[in-house]
Amino acid sequence: MKILGALVVLMLMHSFYDLVDAQGSWQILNRNAGIACMHAAATHYNTLIMLDRTNTGPSQIRLAGGKCRNQPLERILKNDCWAHSVMMNPVSGAVRPLTVQTDTWCSSGQFFDNGMMVQTGGDFEGLRKIRTLKPCPPEGNCDWMELAEPLAKGRWYASNQLLQTGTRQIIVGGRNEPTYEFYPKRRAGEGAYYLSVLDGCCDNLYPFVFLLPNKLLFIFANKDSVSLNWETGKVVRKFPTIPGNPRNYPSAGSAVMLPVSYTTGFTRGEIMVCGGAANGASRTNNVGAACSNNCGRIVATAAAGGWAMENMPIRRCMGDMINMPNGEVLIINGAMNGFQGWGKASNAVLNPVNYNPNAAAGRRFAMWAKTGIPRVYHSTASLLADGRVIVAGSNTHQFYTYTGAFPTELRVEAFSPPYLGANYNAYRPAITGAPIALKYNQVFTMAFTVGVRRGAVTVYQNSAPFTTHSFSQGQRSLHLKTSVPVRAGAGWSMQVTAAPNNSLAPPAWYIFFCVQNGIPSKGKWIKQNN
Ligand SMILES: *[C@@H]1O[C@H](CO)[C@@H](O)[C@H](O)[C@H]1NC(C)=O
């Protein structure tokens, strides 16, 4: 009887864990991070840069050491003692105030190869500014610097992408600015270049920009997209218009490049665009308009072919799409009605959904555990090396406002996907050996331990993007070639082949994950060199 009882309890526990693990779980990391997080980026020191606008008036965290910012052009607080950016340690949840000098509202950013964040544009006095932050360990005191050199044009709602050298980025679009430019400039006095796909009437800000394996840039605005040879300025292919609604700000769709894999010789760059507001929603101020539930996929490296459409289980505006450690895609945050803007959305989507691009059509989406905290306009989602997704921000008000349907959200939450669940502990690999830096095509040894060896082992290499307004600028994931693991001491070892060239992986810090049967290890930061 006793044994039977214990067995039943065990079986019940098992199914309980199965249920929890099947949908993931949520944990609050910090109940008051001091700022609402409009922009976020995870650094190779495993910290999170969080950034808001400066013209919000008081935040809930003061600048350190009694400092105040004196900015005569600032429109709300000319003598401002409040921080509008913080550095978070996602292990402890602790935050440290950072100092921003000019308005970062709806700005953009990207890491350079040396790990330095370059952050560009914003509103008003910040419109043509370039700021840098060289990250440091959690106990360090790194902070923002502002450069004297301005951008060629004002950039508000632009997107940045690191280019092949790892030391230059392209900055694309912005309000009333259908052009792109480079930082650093390619020659003294270089200006901006017109690009017609950016020049529509609306719903084309924060364009989706990806560096393709064939060295061209994919640039998507509203419903249209092109591939651009940025070296010559020539548009190589104009892609068919995506069916359905417009996808860019303020329509609030999102996009990823699906993992580029050795299985296709690293030649296939496929873009996936999901959700967004209904046609004309923002122009007609139709705040109740139902958001789109569809996604389109297009092979942007192919000479022909169009969009393959499929439906998400929930419709969504202001979702964030994330390349996950195991090659899948998470769609998280957002709302079911409305569009981007202050007070323009309702019906928060509390459940993330997961998309497995390798599953059969009709079986790719899974609905995951819901949070209790709505994340609508001006929220972010960032993948951490430990496999969690950190979710922050949401402020649909001009100032910090703690009343109403969607109060300014200062809480930071972590979503642990099902792969972090306890019943996968035995199957989760741990990387025990790998180089700290790689050259292209380098064959290197990765050592790992795992409780139970079961199924295929693969390696994914993920970039560290800059996330804002439902798009993670510079996000990419590579699926690397591996040998069959062999026994090595108490663990296993295999040979991994690094990416072939800098159009696949521009020099930068990347997170490498060892994945057994869909269950990823904690990631290891490795520097990809040129
Ligand atoms: C980079 O590698 C990809 C995949 O092998 C290839 O298609 C592309 O031509 C390469 N680019 C350059 C500049 O060599």
| Residue 1 pLDDT greater than 60, yes or no | no
Q: Which of 28-37, 67-76, 78-87, 141-150 is least confident? A: 67-76
Ligand 1 centroid to Cα of residue 501, in Å, is: 6
- What pLDDT band is residue 19 in, cutting at 50, 70 and 90? low
Is-contact 481 474, C-beta < 8 A? no
**How close is the Cα of 160 to the center of ligand 1, in Å?**
22
**Does ligand 1 lie within 6 Å of residue 423's CB atom?**
no
Using 50, 70 and 90 to split pLDDT, how confident is the model at 66?
A: very high
- Distance (Å, whole) CA 132 – CA 112: 10
DSSP 216-271: PEEEEETTEEEEEETTTTEEEEEPPPPSSS--SBTS--EEEEPPEEGGGTT---EE
Residue 20: predicted pLDDT: 53
- Tell me if 57 sits within 8 A of 36, measured CB to CB: no
Express as a percent the part of the chain with pLDDT over 90: 95
Token couple for 160: 């940045």
The protein residue with its alpha carbon nearest to ligand 1, atom 12, reads 501
DSSP state of 490: T
CB neighbour list of residue 16: distance below 8 Å, 6 or more residues apart: none
Cα separation of 23 and 351, whole Å? 10
Q: Residue 19 is inside which H or E element, if any?
A: helix 2-23
Longest dimension (CA), the chain: 85
DSSP letters for 320-387:
EEEE-TTS-EEEE--EEEE-SSTT-EEEE----EEE-TTSPTTS-EEE-PPPSS---TTEEEEE-TTS
Q: What is the pLDDT of residue 4?
A: 53
Q: Is 525 in the pocket of ligand 1 (CB under 6 A)?
A: no
pLDDT at 517 over 50: yes
CA of 232 to the centre of ligand 1 (A): 18
CA distance 69 to 144: 13
| Residue range 426-528, CATH number | 2.60.40.10
**pLDDT digit string, tens, across residues 412-444:** 999 999 999 999 999 999 999 999 999 999 999
* Cβ of residue 215 lying under 6 Å from some atom of ligand 1: yes
- Residue 266 Cβ inside 6 Å of ligand 1? The answer reads yes
Does the global pTM surpass 0.85? yes
DSSP structural state of residue 290: B
Q: How far apart are the first and last CA of the chain?
A: 66
Would the pLDDT of 9 be above 80?
Answer: no
Whether 267 is in the pocket of ligand 1, judged by its Cβ within 6 Å, is: yes
Give the residue extent of every domain in the chain: 18-420, 426-528
Nearest CA to ligand 1 atom 9: 214
Q: What is the pLDDT of residues 483-515, one digit of tens each?
A: 999 999 999 999 999 999 999 999 999 999 999
**Average pLDDT of the segment spanning 173-184:** 98
Name 493's bridge partners: 447, 486
Per-residue pLDDT tens for 211-261? Answer: 999 999 999 999 999 999 999 999 999 999 999 999 999 999 999 999 999
Contact 332, 365 (CB under 8 A): no
Of residues 360 and 4, which shows the higher confidence score?
360
* Mean of per-residue pLDDT scores for the chain: 96
For residue 329, what are the CA distances in angstroms to 149, 242, 256, 272, 449? 38, 20, 8, 10, 26
| Residue of 266, 441, 479, 530 best suited for mutating to test ligand 1, as the one with most atoms within 8 Å of CB | 266
Confidence category of residue 64, pLDDT binned at 50, 70, 90: very high
Q: Is 156 in the pocket of ligand 1 (CB under 6 A)?
A: no
Q: How far is the CA of 504 from the centre of ligand 1 (A)?
A: 8
- In this predicted structure, the answer to whether residue 368 has a pLDDT above a threshold of 60 is yes
CA-nearest residue for atom 8, ligand 1, is 214
Rg (CA), the chain: 22
* pLDDT score for 3: 53
At 75, is the pLDDT very low, low, confident or very high (cuts 50, 70, 90)?
A: confident
Instruction: Tell me, using a 6 A CB cutoff, whether residue 503 lines ligand 1.
Output: yes
* Confidence at residue 349, expressed as pLDDT on a 0 to 100 scale: 98
Residue 448 has pLDDT above 50, yes or no: yes
Q: Is there an atom of ligand 1 within 6 Å of 501 CB?
A: yes
pLDDT at 5: 53
Q: CA 192 from chain center: how many Å?
A: 26
* Cα–Cα nearest to 162, from 477, 475, 404: 475
**Residues 315-332, mean pLDDT to the nearest whole number:** 98
With a 6 A CB cut-off, is 502 part of the ligand 1 pocket?
Answer: no
The domain 18-420 belongs to what CATH superfamily?
Answer: Galactose oxidase/kelch, beta-propeller (2.130.10.80)
pLDDT band, very low/low/confident/very high, at 22 (cuts 50, 70, 90) = confident
